[in-house]
Amino acid sequence: MAGYSPAMSATSVTAAVVRSEGAPFALEQLELSEPRPGEVRVRMAMSGICHTDILIQEGDFPAVPMPVVLGHEGAGVVEEIGSAVTSVKVGDRVALSYASCGDCTKCMTGQPFHCAGFFPHNFLSAREDGSTALASDGQPVHSHFFGQSSFATGAIVPERSVVPIPDDVPFEVVAPFGCGVQTGAGSVINAVRPQAGSSMAVFGAGGVGLSAIMAAAICGCAPIIAVDLRPARLELALELGATHAINCGEVDPVEAILELTGGVDTSLEASGVPGVLRQAFDVLAPDSLCGLIGAPPLGTEESFDVNAMLSTGRIVRGLVEGHSVPQVFIPQLIELWRAGRLPMERLVRAYDFDQINEAAADAVAGRVVKPVLRISG
């Protein structure tokens, strides 16, 4: 297990700890160390719950060590900064996003989403030297999940994961920008960059998929086809910019999309459900892109007809965090929200921190699109 990095005066925080695979989130009092030179201590105000948090809590991502504090859509106020921090100051309101090393070729050429150390920096839930910022009675609890571990009243966060935000932007709105929204919207705006009038099919109308649908509408795509099992989510997709909705529990979505379009210019797999990626591939027109943005359980594999790829020039590509540089893209998302083109209020539902297990269950059951936790005032 990683070692705890003690401080001269540790701060007491309340955190939702997952102690073993499949165990519920349990609120515990933990010690939080002081920030190191390149770190920031943030008092967490809100945190979104992401599909990946639930996958790990349920045991579908065993690479993440436990006990651990999850959460990676945090927003709050800077309470303390390390001696080398220059981009924020105490009292700043901030959104939090994924972690990256800052030193590899990809980071240094503006592609931190393809950081050579993306997996260890985000999933191994410790600093690079293996230490943690959290402890329970002196025993380490894994921190720094996606640079944050935002399911806590306070967190130690690397400066590269911190994005200053204006005073008038509600934490409830901006918290999901740090992962789910920038993954969905960024995959369209930053990675696909569709031409106006091009067709797009989005498989999965959760927070990521609906963000992609809103972005497709912003880019002028048509038709925009939403695919999901839940009628309420399909209705919401139509209200947020989709031109067509297909209930994959009632009809074969591949047949329906091919009948409607003959093949789409872009498809996005945003459900994380094994087997759906093949459907998203099969609806492509020649020389078109299928973007994989939904996270399935670790070890999931998919098969393709190789000749169907070879002879048509179809592409399947993983799109991580919407190809977003958070310090650049989150301010752009805020401006889209201000303009009424990214109405996050339609997606989120707030829960008190001690309702975290209820919020996660509601997300799994499809009763809520994007649960957001009120961590502290």
Domain extents in the chain:
11-178+347-374, 184-320
- Band (pLDDT 50/70/90 cuts) for residue 10 is confident
Are 11-178+347-374 and 184-320 equal in CATH topology? no
Q: Which two tokens stand for residue 93?
A: 């309101």
pTM: 0.95
Closest C-alpha to 227, from 252, 262, 196 = 252
pLDDT digit string (tens) for 33-61?
A: 999 999 999 999 999 999 999 999 999 88
Angle between helices 51-58 and 356-365 (to 10 degrees): 100
The rounded distance, in Å, linking the Cα atoms of 343 and 172 is 12
Whether residue 71 contacts residue 53, with contact meaning beta carbons closer than 8 Å, is answered with yes
Which fold would CATH assign to domain 184-320? Rossmann fold (3.40.50)
Question: Is residue 308 very low, low, confident or very high in pLDDT (cuts 50, 70, 90)?
Answer: confident
Q: What is the mean pLDDT of residues 267-285?
A: 95
Residue 276 in this model has a pLDDT that exceeds 70: yes
pLDDT at 327: 97
Strand 284-292 to strand 264-269: parallel, antiparallel, or no bridges (unpaired)? parallel
Burial 31-67 (b: 16+ CB within 10 A, else e): bbbbbbeebbbbbbbbbbbbbbbbbbbebbbeebbbb
What would the mean pLDDT of 267-283 be, rounded to a whole number? Answer: 95
CATH architecture of the domain covering 11-178+347-374: Alpha-Beta Complex (3.90)
For residues 223-242, give the mean pLDDT.
97
Q: Which amino acid is at 141?
A: V
Query: In which band, very low, low, confident or very high, does the pLDDT at 1 lie, cut at 50, 70 and 90?
Result: very low
DSSP label of 152: B
Q: Which ranges in the chain belong to alpha helices (H)?
A: 51-58, 105-108, 118-123, 171-174, 180-186, 207-218, 231-240, 253-261, 276-282, 306-310, 326-338, 356-365
pLDDT for 7 beyond 70: no
pLDDT digits 0-9 by tens, 48-101: 999 999 999 999 888 899 999 999 999 999 999 999 999 999 999 999 999 999
Mean of pLDDT values over 350-358: 98
How far apart CA 242 and CA 232 sit, in angstroms, is 13
pLDDT on residue 5: 58
